[in-house]
Structure 1
Amino acid sequence: MDKVALLTKVFEAFASSTKGRYVFMTDMETNISRWSKSCVEEFGLPSERMENAGEIWEEHIHPMDKSRYHQSIVDLFEGKSESHDMVYRARNKNGEYVACTCKGTVIRDDDGKHLYFAGTIDNHGIASEYDSVTALYTKDKLLDTLADLKDERQRYYILFVGMYNFGELNNVYGYEFGNKILRTFAEKLLEFTDDAEVYHAGGTKFALVSTQLNLSEIKEIYSEIVDYCRNSIAVEGVNVTITLGGSCTEVMNFNIDEHTVYSNGILGLDESMKDRHGELCVFGSSNLDKSHERLVLLNALRNSISRDCEGFSIVYQPVVSAQEERLWGAEALVRWQKNPFGRVSPSEFIGWLEDDPLFYDLGLWIARNSMKYWKEKVLSVRPELSLSINVSYTQLERKNFRRDLLEILKELDYPPENLRVELTERCSVLDKNFIRNEIIFLRSQGILTFIDDFGTGFSALELLLFLPVAGIKIDKSFVDGIDEDEKKRIVARAIIECASNIGLKTTIEGVETGDIREILLGFGASHLQGYHYSKPLSIDDFTSHPLFKE
């Protein structure tokens, strides 16, 4: 057997020896390589035999790791190094980055001439500290970094950047294309600075953390990111325009934990998106008191949740049938009150709290307690009345959500037909096929689902045809001033008629006055809700209300 045939036999023996371990061998004179078939299939490489395989493989290396990889290969071929041993992220055929360990060595002949570069690549799969879509560090890794900086008492800036038209992009282009947008955006973020670590902070949010940059440099980076997105991002030949919001926090208070810092940034991001048209919200030395006050508040809220939701309470706002104006049920709403803060409006904390790990616990507490008191105080007297609870995207996407909700129903012996789930507007960031499957599951258990805040995050009319919901709740923004705005009356009537014609129920919230009630009664809605009928009530006040006693 000649040497070439022997090498081929040896290569094939090693190449088939271990799953997830790939073998490669490169002729350093011709730069022609042989790679394991399993590696070629996993990463979508051209073939088992390749010329300039190093350059081809480099295109699969994550941008943050590419320069290290490139230099290592150059050193090998220039004789500056005899071995290659490094961990990097490589993109597989599905576009996911997986963690790999590559070990190789140079084989010489008796005269010291380079003959082959041979080695192995171990595929560790999707690493827990890296996000599989963007290949950036994950939110958990971000929180670990913030905790380390706190322990080191290291001052730093954290810049949050978020997309607030992403639900529309998902609706237009689809979930998979949406992931490609996130991946392209993430790779671009890495190019803006070498003085900050970049993280995928969950959903469509990203974070940059730096101990080196100053505030003016942070602002400049944010401005460049906004300009880049405004001029459209090219993804597979399609140009998409992304609308951004941003918040920046200077952290110098080392008594505040990492979750509170994160939540403060998310709250600022929400403010930037909703109230400032994407202008960067800055919390630091110039408004230190405000920033500190907010951080302290967020910390107190998180502590309350950790203490079995101490300070939180449930109120119930009546919902009436539109035709008879008789009580149909109620929506469960959460309130929080604690010294020295007093009563804090949900609008001041729900937006950022949705992204906090503890929000899931709060959501389960709301579901359990609202149903518990509803069953004890309401269904025992009026068994036909239904209760609506809100479910956010961070709850719905949790793998234990189905199990936990069913366990609460079983634990309380609560009738599922008396429960209505309202999906909040931010559920629009989820894959619509995933949402559809969750709705079908809930329906199979006897639970009806409504789209909350229709006209905002869930604005795509095609979703009404795709998602098997029982109805929609029209956002209050369509009702405010409807008695003085003809356009709003036209839009509200059109939405209600459209929903009715395809068999969906409609609830209109924000019915605050008698004039608004008179207008809406003629539109054909199914249910009405608002201060004209009642403010949100404690369970005892609810059962004492005239509507309940009719």
Structure 2
Amino acid sequence: MDSMVKSLWLTEQFNRTATHIFDLLSNRIGINTFFIATNDRKDNVVLKSINRQYSLMVEGSSLPFENVLCRFVCENIDEPFVISDLANDPRTKHEPATKALNGSGCFVGVPIVLRNGDVFGTLCGLDKVPYDFTDEDISLLRSLGSLLSVTVELERMSKIDEISNLYTVSFIKSLFSKLATEEGNLGLLCVDIDHFKKVNEVYGYEVGDQLLKLMAERLQAVFSNQAFGCRFSADEYLFIFTSNGTVSILDEIQVKFLEIQHALLQPFYINGHECYLTCSIGVSVYPNDGQEFDLLIRNAHNTMNRSKEGGRNALQFFTKAHFIEKEQHLDLEQGLYRALNEKQLFIEYQPQYDLKDERMVGMEALLRWQHPLLGRVSPASFIPITEENGLIVSIGKWILREVCIQGKTWVEKGIDFNEISINISIRQLKDRNFLSDVRFILDETGFEPAMLKFEITESMFIQDTLYIKGILLKLNELGINISLDDFGTGYSSLSILGTLPLHTIKIDRSFVTGMKESEKKQNIVKSIISLAKALHIFTLAEGIESEDETHILHGLGCSYAQGYYYSKPVSPKAIESLLFDQS
């Protein structure tokens, strides 16, 4: 297989050089055939040849290395191998090649040697009759062999990545096309060095580049001659893995990954630094996971990202289910960009009730999406996407404006309610224009800030606690109330809780569901309510689905409740009717 890989190094420049060399040799040395061959010590492949009178060598032909005279050239690269009469030389008279030339003939050859000392192949001449080679003939042949060595080395270097010493992506792509026609299954492995960015940041790019090369060497040592690799991007490699046919290719790759993990237990030593590395790998298999190179890369790369998301230092194989999930995710993401402009988004409101007199006192504004083809899209499917791509900032502004306009309309109609709650994400709070946008929308719509409540989650305080706290204090100064959503399910810190300007704590539905049968849940809810009262904070229980739950919560001192027991999220018109009926 190595012979085939070497042949792919060569371009038109090599072909032009070979043609000139053959012209020179044909004019100076009076034998029939000249040829250039490469080998991997298993097969000898003829790359270029010229026959003057009769055909002795055919381009593209391949013979076992042990049966060709070229092997004598490769065994002693310091001197040309010259046989004027094959039949009368003890080294060649019994060779298969001599017999193929009717037991006679001549042969001459010089090695084509790369800069690193590896033998690429041979430049040879032969005929079916003896020939007396002169010193001038041998000198010319040696010079032209050296020229070929330089030409092939330049061709090779154009296919090699300088940093990793692996192949380039373009060469691996051409290699894949060749292997796909000759091999059965092929594995495409996308290998990412975990947390490599930290190496560059701490030790510098010089150390990072050296690590890339050493990592490539260690990976290639594990794969041996079963894989051909390139540096795919800054800290990613791509390997084409060929099966040895003894077990399934998936099992072979799994074993290789275990070997990689074992190899990486040993640290890398660079400039006095001791570095330990791990890698995340995604695999796609030809032809099952795709027949086009670019598609297989995409599938392997996406799967590699999945390995990283799962905790890194892992191997994952591409699955069509994962592809469908990614495709659906992308479709939703693209659809969201259109949804806001095409008025596919709208708001429903879920009523909130006072547990003392069961009167509706407020409502939570909930974003909804009516997709033209998919119908109602679950918020659990699309809201995380808006937070990933930042669309939540512009959508959040639209929600705030719509809620304020609706709230102002109800006030002008004389409809009595306390407040409207809006969910605010961490991306919105971190947006530098958030506070100014809030002020502008309140001024623009004329909606009373005291009738607005922003709901935040505990997870926001895992990072940038002081910054988030500062934003909340400024919102509170505007007159906006703050509610802590899903209390008890995330990052709970009593020290932070006591310093935040909270109006309400929302008790997560996981504590409410099954509360009647669970004394432990009742005790947890009771503790949350007691804590809130001590801090002069109201409590609101979510997910109420039965009358029993309302009685228990009222008995424990909970202030407010919302859930399907009272009402599912409904349209503004339905909320208006509920409030009119109540009054």
* TM-score, normalised with respect to structure 2: 0.49
* Matched letter for residue 471 of structure 1: T
When residues 289 and 517 of structure 1 are mapped into structure 2, their CA distance, relative to the original with a 3 A threshold, is same
Deviation at 1:345, TM superposition (A): 0.8
Higher relative contact order (CA 8 A, sep 6+): 1
Corresponding residue for residue 566 of structure 2: 533
Corresponding residue for residue 410 of structure 2: 377
Retained in 2: the 8 A contact 1:423–1:452? yes
2:323 is the counterpart of 1:288: yes
Q: SS at 1:349's partner residue?
A: helix
1:304 is matched with which residue: 332, 339, 350? Answer: 339
1:314 is matched with which residue: 347, 358, 375? Answer: 347
Corresponding residue for residue 534 of structure 2: 501
Deviation at 1:446, TM superposition (A): 0.7
Corresponding residue for residue 74 of structure 1: none
Gaps of 5+ in 2: 1-187, 217-230, 242-249, 266-279, 293-298
Deviation track 1:436-470 (CA, whole Å, cap 9, x = no partner) reads: 21111011111111111111233222221132222
1:468 is matched with which residue: 496, 501, 512? Answer: 501
2:448 is the counterpart of 1:415: yes
Deviation track 1:371-416 (CA, whole Å, cap 9, x = no partner) reads: 2112213563234420111111110011110001111111111110
Q: What is the count of residue pairs matched by the alignment?
A: 337
Distance 1:379 1:271 in 2: 50
* Matched letter for residue 526 of structure 1: S
Retained in 2: the 8 A contact 1:474–1:508? yes
Distance 1:549 1:281 in 2: 57
Corresponding residue for residue 380 of structure 2: 347
Deviation at 1:302, TM superposition (A): 3.1
Within-5 A mapping of 1:10-409: 284-285=319-320, 287-305=322-340, 307=341, 310-377=343-410, 380-409=413-442
- More helix by proportion, 1 or 2? 2
Distance 2:467 2:518 in 1: 38
Retained in 2: the 8 A contact 1:542–1:548? no
Q: SS at 1:531's partner residue?
A: coil
Distance 1:363 1:436 in 2: 20
Gaps of 5+ in 1: 1-154, 163-179, 199-207, 229-245, 255-260
Distance 1:491 1:156 in 2: 49
Distance 2:191 2:367 in 1: 30
Retained in 1: the 8 A contact 2:190–2:282? yes
Retained in 1: the 8 A contact 2:353–2:561? yes
Distance 1:544 1:159 in 2: 58
Retained in 1: the 8 A contact 2:362–2:418? yes
* Matched letter for residue 360 of structure 1: V
Corresponding residue for residue 474 of structure 2: 441
Q: SS at 2:544's partner residue?
A: coil
1:457 is matched with which residue: 479, 483, 490? Answer: 490
* Matched letter for residue 323 of structure 2: L
* TM-score, normalised with respect to structure 1: 0.52
Retained in 1: the 8 A contact 2:353–2:562? yes
Distance 2:433 2:423 in 1: 17
Distance 1:461 1:503 in 2: 14
Deviation at 1:158, TM superposition (A): 9.9
When residues 377 and 468 of structure 1 are mapped into structure 2, their CA distance, relative to the original with a 3 A threshold, is closer
Retained in 2: the 8 A contact 1:323–1:526? yes
Distance 1:474 1:213 in 2: 53
Retained in 1: the 8 A contact 2:257–2:315? no
Q: SS at 2:397's partner residue?
A: helix
Q: Choose 1 or 2 for highest CA Rg.
A: 2
When residues 490 and 414 of structure 1 are mapped into structure 2, their CA distance, relative to the original with a 3 A threshold, is same
Quote the RMSD (CA, aligned, Å): 4.7
Retained in 2: the 8 A contact 1:272–1:281? no
* Matched letter for residue 438 of structure 2: L
Q: SS at 1:319's partner residue?
A: strand
Deviation track 1:483-537 (CA, whole Å, cap 9, x = no partner) reads: 2222111111111111111211111111111122121111111211111111001
Q: SS at 2:498's partner residue?
A: helix
Q: SS at 2:521's partner residue?
A: helix
Retained in 2: the 8 A contact 1:157–1:213? no
* Matched letter for residue 469 of structure 2: R
* Matched letter for residue 317 of structure 1: Q
Retained in 2: the 8 A contact 1:452–1:475? yes
* Matched letter for residue 327 of structure 2: H
2:541 is the counterpart of 1:511: no
Distance 1:403 1:423 in 2: 19
Q: Percent identity of the aligned residues? A: 32
Corresponding residue for residue 15 of structure 1: none
Corresponding residue for residue 174 of structure 2: none
Distance 1:299 1:253 in 2: 27
